Amino acid sequence: MRNIWTIAKREYLHYFSTPIAYVVAFLLLLTVGILFVLNIVYYANNAMFGGGAPSPNLVTGPFAFLLLLSVPALTMRLISDENRMGTLELLLTAPVTDWELVVGKWLGAFLFLLTILALTLIYPLLLNIMVKPGIDFMLALSAYLGVILVAAALLGLGTGISALFSNPIASFFMTLAVFVVLWWLIGAPASVLSTGTELFSYLDMSNHFYDSFNQGVIKLTDLVYYLSLTLLGLFIGATAIEVRRWQ
């Protein structure tokens, strides 16, 4: 546990010294901010004609989507860079297990994303002041929990994929490709096929967020889905390192 924390801490602090992390934070916060303002204007205009009130998921919805682009940027060098620079030799000859290493790396990235996500909390709070009688806090809680789980799963996969490469760019595009498949493509057969639709829509990563957490519904299946993806990613990472040792 202690090793995981040591590695996570280094990784977390490292983000603050790299431009890529600031670019990611900028992209996430700027986009979410602009969408928030536009939505407020839209709802304000429509309110005169009896339109609905804006809800907190107008922040979490776009945030989750933007993770598809920003997570590969955050995870691409996590382990691949250690491969490239030879520092993996340092970590693999220190008394640290392969699991501790991978989980530590993942945790560092996860904490960094949580930091950015925490900054977006300003929007639901603003919204709470603007709308009467205030926002649905349970919905906000569920939506944020959903984003956190999506982030955990994407970061897990990204960390695992990063261990397969020694080139961060290759790692970035491979991660992005996997996300595109999981977020869009894998659910697509469900709308075409007559059998097996349940399987395909279960595998679809976006369904488990937009159709449940982001609507204020917390279901065990969705929770299990994201946690298993996280574990799968970390497992890939630990296995890749183990394989590298035996080569």
Partner 1 sequence: MIRVQGLTKDYGSRRAIDGLTFDVEQGEIIGFLGPNGAGKTTTMRILTAYMPPTEGQAIVAGYDVVEDSLEVRRRVGYLPETVPLYPDMTVFDYLKFMADLRHLPNAEERVDEVVEMVGLGERINSYIGTLSKGMRQRVGLAQALLHRPQVLILDEPTIGLDPAQVVEVRNLIREIGKERTVMLSTHILSEAQQLCDRVLIINKGKIVAKDTPANLQLRLSGGERMLVRVRGEAEEAAQVLHKVKGVQAIQAFPDGRIEFNFPPGQDVRAEVARALVQNGYDLLELRPLQMSLEEIFLELTRSEEQA
Contacts to partner 1 by CB under 8 A: 2-3, 6-7, 10, 14, 17-18, 85-97, 245-247
**Among residues 8, 19, 211, 27, which one has the least CA distance to residue 119?**
27
Q: What CA–CA distance (Å, rounded) separates 10 from 104? A: 9
Q: How far is the CB of 76 from partner 1 (least distance, A)?
A: 16
Which of these, 231, 65, 234, lies nearest to 147 by C-alpha position?
Answer: 65
Nearer to partner 1, 2 or 132 (CB): 2
In the complex with partner 1, the residue whose CB is nearer, 221 or 247, is 247
Q: 74 Cβ partners below 8 Å, 6+ apart?
A: 15, 20, 21, 24, 109, 112, 113, 155, 158
- State the nearest-atom distance from the C-beta of 160 to partner 1, in Å: 21
Residues 131 and 54: their CA atoms lie apart, in Å, by: 8
Nearer to partner 1, 106 or 144 (CB): 106
CB of 86 to partner 1, least distance (A): 4
Q: How far is the CB of 5 from partner 1 (least distance, A)?
A: 9
Minimum CB–partner distance for residue 6 and partner 1 (Å): 4
Closer by beta carbon to partner 1, 111 or else 227? 111
- Pick the closer one to partner 1 by CB: 46 or 87: 87
Residue 9 CB, nearest distance to partner 1 (Å)? 8
Least Å distance, CB 19 to partner 1, is: 11
Residue (5 or 210) nearer to partner 1, CB:
5
Dihedral sign for Cα 235, 63, 214, 56, please.
Answer: positive
Query: Nearer to partner 1 by C-beta: 22 or 184?
Result: 22
